[in-house]
Structure 1
Amino acid sequence: MMAFILLLFAVTSLLPSISAGCCQNGWIPYDGHCYYIGYESLLTFSEALFYCISRDAYLTRLDTYSEYSFLRNFLKKTKASHGAWIGLTDRTKEGSYRWYGTYTSPTFSDWGPGQPDNLGNEDCVGIWESIDYRWNDFKCDSYKLKPLCEKKST
């Protein structure tokens, strides 16, 4: 009986650490974060912001090239999205791209050829299939992409 109690105690004390770092069903885990691609929705940048917020998340902020590479490869493999919004914009100051919500500058970039081109006042950034899932600037309020949401794992 004592062995059973010790085993039960050991298992229950491990449960919080086993579940730590988990993502909800449908979310993709990577390096302590969870990502969700809104495959069911084509949204403007502003709509994508609210879409992510409604899921207690934010539009993805690509902090490292390895994070970006992981997500880029995931989008390529699934081929379920022609493009996805990330939380990068130069709405505040043309040519000065910042992550929405933190207003920090990106630590790297992977613009597609000739991008960003600000064609017709394009201020929001997405990962775009036609340029091998590299960065492209788009019109925030008229172009529609899938939202790519991020949050810390729980």
Structure 2
Amino acid sequence: MCLLRMRVLIFTSLGLLFTPVVTGSPSCPHGWYQHGSSCYVFIDGVLHSWTEAMSFCKGLSAKLVEIETRDENDFLQQHLQNMVHSHNYWIGLTDAIVENEWLWISTQKEAQFTNWGLFQPDNAQNMEDCADIASFFPHGVWNDEDCDAKLHFICEKELKSTPPFPVGNLVG
């Protein structure tokens, strides 16, 4: 702070306009976990259908998690395995539009990385069009599930730095 005051003094004594700007470092909201350029929150206190979970995430300015790499899947699985209870968690993947064409709901792009469990997706009883990640299997395997099933879920949002804000306006 003393250094900042010295700079202000130097600039103001030269008759210059000085508006120092402080840029916050990127951070996730309280209760969210950072990995790469995203923030994640694990919603395990309430059960929702896939559509309800998607709406809940949207209310948090987020989306159902879209797992794009093995590294991201491993990160999520690590957190899931550290949780007290084992559950399945909705992810933002669906084949509701065209059977067996698994798309990320926010972009409508086909999943390039997948981590389906053995014999999955299986579309049991022709009713499983939404995907979840299982916390109780190793390696965070995915399963297709009836979209109306009530599960826990994971929301994801982009990591954003806090906007720059002026520390002061000084005119020399």
TM-score (norm. length: structure 1):
0.87
Q: 1:136 pairs with 138, 143, 147, which one?
A: 143
- The offset of 1:76, in angstroms, is 1.0
Q: Please, what is the CA RMSD of the aligned residues?
A: 2.2
Letter in 1 for 2:29: Q
1:105 Cα offset (Å): 1.1
CA distance in 2, matches of 1:8, 1:40: 50
Residue 152 of structure 2 is aligned to residue 146 of structure 1:
yes
3-state DSSP class of the match of 2:147? Answer: coil
**Corresponding position of 1:26:** 31
Residue type of the alignment partner of 2:76 = L
> Match for residue 5 of structure 1?
5
Choose between structure 1 and 2: higher helix proportion: 1
Q: Secondary structure at the match of 2:56?
A: helix
- State the AA in 2 paired with 1:129: S
Deviates most, 90-99 or 65-74:
65-74
Identity over aligned pairs, percent: 33
In the alignment, the residues of structure 2 paired with residue 144 and residue 112 of structure 1 have an alpha-carbon distance, to the nearest angstrom, of 20
Name structure 1 gaps, 5 residues minimum.
Answer: none
State TM-score, norm by structure 2: 0.78
Whichever structure has more strand as a proportion of its residues is 2
How many residues are treated as equivalent by the alignment? 148
**Any stretches of 5+ residues in structure 2 without a counterpart?**
10-19, 161-172
**Cα offsets for 1:14-45 (capped at 9, x unmatched):** x41xx332000000111111001111111110
Supply the distance in 1 between the matched residues of 2:113 and 2:85 (Cα, whole angstroms). Answer: 26
Of the two, which has the highest radius of gyration?
2
